A and B are shown apart, each in its own frame.
Chain A
Amino acid sequence: MAEEQVLRLEHVSKDFFGIYAITDVSLELNKGEILGLIGENGAGKSTMMNIVCGVLPPTSGSLFFEGKPYEPKKPSDAEAVGISFIHQELNLFNNLNVIDNMFINGFRHIKGLPLNNNKEMAEIAKSALAQVGLDISPYTKVEKLSMGERQLIEIAKSILGDPKVIIFDEPTTSLTNKETEKLFAIIEKLKAEGKSIIYISHILEDVQRLTDKIAVLRDGVITATGKTEEFTIDRMISNMVGRSITQMYPPRIENISDEILLSVKNLSQPGVVKDINLELRKGEILGIYGLMGAGRSELANILFGLDEYESGQIIFKGKVLEKKNPIERIKAGMGYVTENRKEEGLFLEFPVAENINITSLRSLSKKGIVNKKEALKNAQDSKKMFGIKCEAVNKHLVKGLSGGNQQKVVIAKWVSTRPELLIVDEPTRGIDVGAKSEVYNILNELARAGTGILMVSSEMEELIGNCSRIIVMNKGMITGELNNQEICTESLLHAAFIDTAGM
């Protein structure tokens, strides 16, 4: 035996009430190996990991851990054999310090007393923090830490138990580039120490770079496995979606008019943005790029009238807008797809139809009473137009949709107000390749029909693929503007990292 096998799944299937979530999945993970697990949302990745971690029992098939049969009944069984799962939504308690978080399910006590031995735990925590390269006091409260640091705390917590397998689920979604690099270095180190890693991500470039082998899931079936060298990004995509997306980005038929839709003059708010000037024409897709903390989303909030600003002007369709008044803007024809769909964009407990109609209740009602028929029709039209995959629009709750379909609901909600300007912030965060491509198509269609779109994103690729112009922000200021002939990764990065002090 050349390589030592740690985890093996043999013909594992799982059905929920007769519907198969995963079918006949077989997989092997060796010691000191990084396995990339990719697939669209709903492909069965979570079900598979839940089986491995003892959250769900398989319907059929068997699991082996280090060659021995492994039948976890509850999450602690998985922990006991040495499988550690780092969830996408971090399971940390912001109001507690690092020690409390790391030892929350197993505090060390002072001998003979029910009191916590903070000294001993601090020592252990310190060495675990050192292993993940985090130089902070173990008494720091988690709320004071950045998202990247919190991710590292989760890793430090998980290595306390000396696990043999660590599963990362989308660990980079809220990390800065620098923090991502640091995370990758730590994963490499863990690998060198002989730990096995399952890395789940939508960011295929990262998977290609980091992993030794890849497994692709589609509709609950493994469609491809193999060494990472054998996969190109294109192959990964075609294995994931079952067709090859040669054209991730829609061909651009530009229909930019001369009419200026939005113009921002000398907009400043201390501590947030400084001296912002920009213009957006009808039918144009204008990108705003910047690293995390550059002030992109803050600018979007100000433009939409959610946050205040100190000086400057926002002119929309030739009219100067009030300082802080989103209602005025919506009436004037602005829409805003926020960065965080679950918290700011959707009523998760409401059905699809109510989410779509919420912005257009006025036009859907007569004398203050909502016309049910029209409202239903509006939602059904949106469902058709955007290809939202759900059952009856007035029954299916939004929380039951996949990320991509949720995002379509948010966009549909604004499009049904017939906006002339749509601000979209991170329109494809956390959604899979197929849904991404659909979102791009929708946005391009809108632009072609004359809507101005302000696309805020930290993904360079999508800006390059969709925008006719890109504005780059850094430290709250505009540090560069590129039109579509000059747009390339290098020039974007240059403007984003440029030291404003030297300008």
Chain B
Amino acid sequence: MSDKKGMKIKILQYMSFELFVIIFVMFGLFSQNWFTFSNFIMIIKQSSYVGILAIGITFPLITAGTDLSVGAVMFMGMSFSAMLLDKGVPLPVAMLVALIIGCVIGIVNAFFVVDVKVMPFIATLGTMTVIRGITLIFTGSRALNIPAYLTTAFGSGKLFGLIPYPAIVFIFLLLVFHIVLTKTAFGRRIFACGNNLEAAKKAGLNTRLVLYMAYVISGVLAAIAGFVSASQIGNVPAGFGEGYEFDAIAASVLGGTSLLGGTGSILPGVLVGAVTIQMIKTGLTAMQINPYLIDIFQALFILLAVMLDGIKNQVIAKSQSRHIRVAE
């Protein structure tokens, strides 16, 4: 292989990082106060809940599945927590309830995907609609208030007055699930299941357990993301978490997760992906354009980024395909 070609592949392989840098610089040219430490910290903080969702969704994605219910899980978990908190239930109990909701929905998703054998996107699209509907019945489409201390102490609080707590939670979860994915037997087996489920069964792996775990992780992390997000917003509006599954999948894919399963990473993958997406959002807002256009641009940007990523994979796959050494 010639050096030129090798270079081309290198450039493509690190495209997520390059996109990251390009988008970072581009918005910097258009907006004021972009290249400041406080802006950077703010982006990390704001990317925290999409990032946490993306950590979770990466697990079903690696198994060649998906989880479209994450935004709805955020909504349901946080709504019930907020209602309990309103009734004076202590915070840890309310949080536990949200986590249990996430866990149960994860199990339900896995049941449909693994045991009933419904295609993951249909199964989780179904649960997404159902749980959002159920929650709306309970909340009556009202925005729910959450205790002010959640916002002051956590949502906008900073460790040593420097690093926002949501960012710390995000980074902590990144580290934990990076280790889970790369260093534990479960982590390796999830890759095996995503690569070839039949072979994994033949190898004697408990593929059912592995797949259930993947959806449960996704559900539980979505519940955590609900807390992180609500404590930043200050309440739980009726459209809470709506459309976040798109951001989460995009963040994971930008970070190198393949929708075909078998590949993906938490570090650096999800971190780079989530921050890139948040930069696009923040950058567009900072440019002070028509808010209606922001949504459109945002989606187009994300689609473009994911599309480039797809092209990259195709080109790399093509260049690495079998080559015969022709006599010169």
Contacts and interface: CB of A to CB of B under 8 A. Distances in A.
- A and B are interacting partners: yes
Interface string A101-119: 0001101010000111000
Given A93-B191, A104-B189, A114-B184, A475 B199 contact: no
A100 B183 CA distance: 10
12 contacts: A92-B199, A93-B191, A95-B194, A100-B191, A107-B185, A115-B183, A116-B185, A116-B188, A272-B324, A294-B324, A295-B324, A477-B327
Given A89-B199, A96-B192, A475-B327, 18 more contacts: A75-B202, A75-B204, A76-B204, A87-B202, A91-B202, A95-B195, A95-B262, A95-B263, A105-B205, A107-B185, A107-B188, A114-B185, A116-B185, A294-B324, A298-B324, A475-B325, A476-B324, A500-B327
B232 to A, nearest CB: 33
A272 B326 CA distance: 7
A94 B261 CA distance: 12
B192 A104 contact: yes
Interface of B: 179, 183-185, 188-189, 191-192, 194-196, 199-200, 202-205, 262-263, 322-327
Contacts of B325: 475-476
B72 to A, nearest CB: 31
Nearest to A297: B322
A156 to B, nearest CB: 15
Nearest to A271: B323
B326 A105 contact: no
A477 B183 contact: no
Contacts of B204: 75-76, 79, 105
A475 B328 CA distance: 10
Contacts of A271: 323-324, 326
A476 B327 contact: yes
Contact of B326 (A75, A89, A116, A476): A476
Interface in A95-147: 95-96, 100, 104-105, 107, 109, 114-116
Interface string A53-97: 000000000000000000000011001000000010101111110
Q: Majority SS of interface residues in chain A?
A: loop
A383 interface: no
Residue of B185, B191, B262, B323 contacting most chain A CB atoms (<10 Å): B185
B184 A116 contact: yes
A105 B189 CA distance: 8
A93 B326 contact: no
A294 B327 CA distance: 11
A180 to B, nearest CB: 19
Given A91-B203, A107-B185, A100 B192 contact: yes
Nearest to B322: A293
A114 B202 CA distance: 24
A273 to B, nearest CB: 7
Interface of A: 75-76, 79, 87, 89, 91-96, 100, 104-105, 107, 109, 114-116, 270-274, 293-295, 298, 475-477, 500-501
A108 to B, nearest CB: 9
B176 to A, nearest CB: 12
A349 to B, nearest CB: 15
Contacts of A95: 191, 194-195, 262-263
Nearest to A99: B188
A105 B200 CA distance: 9
Given A96-B188, A115-B179, A104 B327 contact: no
Nearest to B62: A95
Given A76-B204, A104-B205, A107-B188, A94 B195 contact: yes
Contacts of A75: 202, 204
A109 B184 CA distance: 8
A272 B327 contact: no
A115 B176 CA distance: 12
A272 B185 contact: no
Contacts of B327: 274, 475-477, 500-501
A270 B195 contact: no
B119 to A, nearest CB: 16
A109 B189 CA distance: 14
A104 B188 contact: yes
A91 B201 CA distance: 10
A91 B203 CA distance: 7
Contact of A274 (B184, B195, B326): B326
A94 B322 CA distance: 15
A270 B183 contact: no
Contacts of A273: 324, 326
A404 B11 CA distance: 46
A270 B196 contact: no
A91 B197 CA distance: 10
A16 to B, nearest CB: 20
Given A95-B263, A116-B183, A270 B203 contact: no
B204 to A, nearest CB: 5
Nearest to B185: A107
Residue of B184, B205, B324 contacting most chain A CB atoms (<10 Å): B324
B195 A100 contact: no
Nearest to B193: A93
Nearest to B182: A116
A242 to B, nearest CB: 33
A486 to B, nearest CB: 24
Contacts of A87: 202
B193 to A, nearest CB: 9
A115 B186 CA distance: 10
A293 B324 contact: yes
A105 B191 contact: no
A109 B185 CA distance: 8
